Chains A and B, each alone.
Chain A
Amino acid sequence: MHWLDGLVQGILLGGLYAQYALGMALMFGVMRIVNITHGDLTVLLALIGISAAAYFSIGPWTVLVILVVLGGVIGWGLQRVILNRVVGADPLPSLIATFGLSVAMQNAMLQIWSADTRSLNGHGIEQLSFQVGPLFVGVLPIIVLITATVLTGGLDGVLRFTRFGRALRASAADVEAAAMTGVSPKSVYAGATAIAVAILGFAAVFQSLRTTVAPSDGPFQLIYAFEAVIIGGMGSIWGAFIGAMVLGVSQSIGFRIDPGFGILAGHLVFLAVLAVRPQGLLGR
């Protein structure tokens, strides 16, 4: 039961990680940019959400809507003001730029919100659970998993069937040729980043409901997102989802072996995938 419980909890954890991973997979697939502030943006959104909930006395689902919209706006702005200047063949400028921004953001958040950990008041939903056979499964984790699945499927659908999705895929394949076919690369990029950070709005709410959030948490979320994308295989939205599941399960089972081993177990599985199947589980 020990292991089954670990597996189930791991999959539910994977649902949260998938929400981190989707945006990263999208941005890297289209722009070959990894946004080092990816995790910090989630923390920022979470802290804003927590403060807003306390100040305006609003419930978590209203906060969710606000954060998703805010995420989209922030993402769009980030692309237009900063990232558009560093898109290109050379990975160094975007890495360093987002790295510097990450340091600045973490410390600014530290100044504004202090190092105290906070969480979002879910009005009881964090405690709800139901029994499935010998296991107790929380309602919130199920919601997180379902949301992750819907977001992944939705994003995949957008990429496959919509005008914007086609423009995005074309830009990912050959941005110059896409421009020659009438696609405006800057608009596509801004849209991709807006979607990526909007998805982080979901992750922000679920993370702050599930556990506490502190300004320095960003780098860890970044690493989990990255590991999920690599395990699943680059260039694949469902790959990011599967990779997140694998990571969640690894951490969960590792945690059950020894509480200090959980995160490390995830890292080791990541390194193992990198050694044995570097293109990822779903990668070509």
Chain B
Amino acid sequence: MTALLSTHALVARYGDFQALYGIDFEIEAGEVVALIGANGAGKSTLLKSIMGMLRVAPDMVRLEGQPVGGSQPHRMVSQGVAIVPEGRRLFTGMSVEDNLRVAIDHAAPTRAGGWTLDRVLDLFPMLREKRAVPVESLSGGQQQMVAIGRSLLNQPRVLLCDEISLGLAPKVVKEIYQSIPSISATGTAIVLVEQDVGLAQSASNRLYCMLEGRVTLSGKSSDITREAIGEAYFGGSHALA
């Protein structure tokens, strides 16, 4: 069965620097897959390659088997892939509602049971009273909610989340992660790039661990041991004996 989103021997470069050395990745509808690894492992690069922000060969990224690698980011959105970018990247100077409306304006074709402004505000109730407020004045957690809401309003079949817990208090992170199951329940596939290994494991069905541009471990989140993660995270040859 063809996966909803998959990468095949994905190679990516920043100029002369090679960041990814042949990544094989796949995700099905409704799955939550976590991507863990140390800084510089290539997790964000993988998401960016999928989203079209880096040039890759067309066949290396496939959506339902169709090659989409190297497409422009806005084309990926219209195909049903959305990203919650690292650092949120909200539109400063615009209100919360306007930020969300931009996504609505440019969403992929809506499926039945799609996201509406109301449903997003139901998901994150504390945004309701902040609709007209400029996004810069929100707290970090609220901004993250707006960022997620914005991506959801793109009506994605695959949602790429790049470090959504970064810089947030544990309580806030917990709140945000509580929304993940409701999102995947609608059939949306979610890729979670996450620094917090425990959080990644508990929130996902499967996980991949990356190191220096390669996948060092993959499997069901519930089956993988801490030791296996430790080896894959830091690399066996680097461990002090």
A and B touch in the complex (CB under 8 A): yes
* Chain A residues within CB distance 8 Å of chain B: 163, 166-167, 169-170, 172-174, 176-185, 235
Q: Which of B20-28, B70-78, B179-187, B194-202 contacts A (4 or more CB under 8 A)?
A: B70-78
- Binary interface encoding of chain B residues 65-92 relative to chain A, with 1 for a CB under 8 A from any of its CBs, else 0: 0000000111001100011010001111
B106 and A182 contacting across the interface, CB-CB below 8 Å: yes
CB contact under 8 A between A180 and B94, given known A166-B102, A166-B105, A167-B105: no
A235 / chain B contacts, CB cutoff of 8 Å: 93
Contact with B53, one of A172, A176, A182, A183 (Cβ below 8 angstroms): A176
B77 and A180 contacting across the interface, CB-CB below 8 Å: yes
A178 / chain B contacts, CB cutoff of 8 Å: 91, 102
B90 / chain A contacts, CB cutoff of 8 Å: 174, 177
A181 / chain B contacts, CB cutoff of 8 Å: 77, 82, 102-103, 106, 150-151, 154
Closest A residue to B92 using CB positions: A173
A167 and B106 contacting across the interface, CB-CB below 8 Å: yes
Q: List 24 A-B contacts (CB under 8 A).
A: A163-B105, A166-B98, A167-B105, A169-B93, A169-B98, A170-B91, A170-B94, A173-B91, A173-B92, A173-B94, A176-B53, A177-B89, A178-B91, A180-B51, A180-B77, A180-B85, A181-B150, A181-B151, A181-B154, A182-B74, A182-B78, A182-B103, A182-B154, A235-B93
B128 interface residue, CB < 8 Å from A? no
B130 / chain A contacts, CB cutoff of 8 Å: none
Contact with A180, one of B83, B98, B105, B107 (Cβ below 8 angstroms): B83
CA distance A29 to B229 in the complex (A): 48
CA distance A174 to B89 in the complex (A): 7
Smallest CB separation, A64 vs chain B (Å)? 31
A183 and B51 contacting across the interface, CB-CB below 8 Å: no
B101 interface residue, CB < 8 Å from A? yes
Contact with A170, one of B78, B85, B102 (Cβ below 8 angstroms): B102
CA distance A169 to B105 in the complex (A): 13
B93 / chain A contacts, CB cutoff of 8 Å: 169, 172-173, 235
Other than A166-B105, A176-B73, A176-B89, give 20 A-B pairs with Cβ distance below 8 A: A167-B102, A167-B105, A169-B91, A169-B93, A169-B98, A170-B94, A173-B91, A173-B93, A174-B91, A177-B89, A177-B91, A179-B53, A180-B73, A180-B82, A180-B83, A181-B103, A182-B74, A182-B102, A182-B107, A184-B72
B108 / chain A contacts, CB cutoff of 8 Å: 182
CA distance A163 to B102 in the complex (A): 7
How many residues of chain B get a CB closer than 8 Å to chain A's CBs?
A: 28
B89 and A183 contacting across the interface, CB-CB below 8 Å: no
Contact with A166, one of B73, B77, B89, B101 (Cβ below 8 angstroms): B101
Smallest CB separation, B51 vs chain A (Å)? 6
Closest A residue to B51 using CB positions: A180
A182 and B91 contacting across the interface, CB-CB below 8 Å: no
A172 / chain B contacts, CB cutoff of 8 Å: 93
CA distance A174 to B93 in the complex (A): 11
A170 / chain B contacts, CB cutoff of 8 Å: 91, 94, 99, 102
B99 / chain A contacts, CB cutoff of 8 Å: 170
B106 / chain A contacts, CB cutoff of 8 Å: 167, 181-183
Closest A residue to B93 using CB positions: A173
Contact with A183, one of B83, B85, B102, B151 (Cβ below 8 angstroms): B102
Smallest CB separation, A255 vs chain B (Å)? 38
A163 / chain B contacts, CB cutoff of 8 Å: 105
> Nearest 7 A-B pairs (CB), nearest first?
A182-B106, A182-B77, A177-B89, A173-B91, A179-B73, A170-B91, A163-B105
Smallest CB separation, B146 vs chain A (Å)? 12
Smallest CB separation, A279 vs chain B (Å)? 15
Smallest CB separation, A31 vs chain B (Å)? 16
Residue among B73, B103, B151 with the highest chain A CB neighbour number at 10 A = B73
B151 / chain A contacts, CB cutoff of 8 Å: 181
Smallest CB separation, B120 vs chain A (Å)? 14
